Structure 1
Amino acid sequence: MIPGGGQPNMQQLLQQAQKMQQDLAQAQEELAQTEVDGQAGGGLVTATVTGAGELRALKIDPKAVDPDSASAEETAETLADLVVAAVQAANENAQTLQQQKLGPLAQGLGGGGIPGLPF
């Protein structure tokens, strides 16, 4: 504080901003390392993404591919739909994780609305 002026110390403000920036970078790194799953078709297809939304794994239960199906094309379409749904579910879980990790940091920076962040 400036004596008698009531103004915040610029050095102190700069240090706070740098700390917030470090905390944000650490949270983003943790998100990149954390994995979440999404499922579709009652667990027939499971997608694993990082907290940053990067697809890491895709598991397809053999039951999802029906060799007795009348149409291989129909089976492929169904499987594709399940894969898309599983990836979307995993990404929704990743967004929830982002909000949990980064939300408090965004509030510390003035309450959200930060470009590039999903909240």
Structure 2
Amino acid sequence: MNIQHMMKQAQMLQKKMNDMQQQLENVEVIGTAGGGLVTCVATAKGVIKKVNINKDLMNPEEVEVLEDLICAAFSDARRKADELVNQSMSSLGLPPDMMQMMS
């Protein structure tokens, strides 16, 4: 394998990764907690777009429960986004954590 061929492959891989990153900005994941009482919509790149809270949770005496559910929904969305990124990286034949190394 010559150096020109390797450089061409590296450029093609870089383009595929850039394309994938752009696609991930538009893909949304939904994290849930409390059986769907709290949902969090985020992009696959981790940008939080929306939080929905069931009005039944709006009890001033149970603020800690609501806070815990919001955190759980965020965590669920992040986990789903990470899984999606890992699948995308694997489809390119790259290690799943390579996207994190490039950030």
With structure 2 as the length reference, what TM-score do the two structures score?
A: 0.88
Structure (1/2) with the larger helix percentage: 2
Q: Distance in 1 between matches of 2:43 and 2:77?
A: 9
CA pair 51-44 structure 1, distance change in 2 beyond 3 A: same
Query: Which residue does the alignment assign to 1:75?
Result: 62
The answer to whether the aligner puts 1:34 opposite 2:27 as a matched pair is yes
Unaligned runs of 5+ in 2: none
Distance 1:10 1:112, change over 3 A: farther
Does 1:47 find its partner at 2:40?
yes
Counterpart in 1 of 2:71?
84
RMSD of equivalent CA atoms: 1.7
Deviation, structure 1 residue 115: 6.9
Alignment check: 8 A CA contact 1:106 1:114 kept? no
Q: Secondary structure at the match of 2:100?
A: coil
Q: Supply the distance in 2 between the matched residues of 1:91 and 1:113 (Cα, whole angstroms).
A: 14
Q: Tell which structure's C-alpha radius of gyration is larger.
A: 1
Equivalent residues in 2 for 1:92-103, closer than 5 Å: 92-103=79-90
Paired with 1:35 and 1:114, the residues of 2 have a C-alpha distance of 21
Q: Which amino acid in 2 is paired with 1:114?
A: M
Q: CA, structure 1 residues 80+113, in 2 after alignment: closer, same or farther (shift >3 Å)?
A: closer
3-state SS, counterpart of residue 46 of structure 2: coil
CA distance in 2, matches of 1:29, 1:79: 33
Question: C-alpha separation between the residues in 1 aligned to 2:79 and 2:57?
Answer: 23
Check whether the contact 2:29–2:80 (CA below 8 A) recurs between aligned residues.
Answer: yes
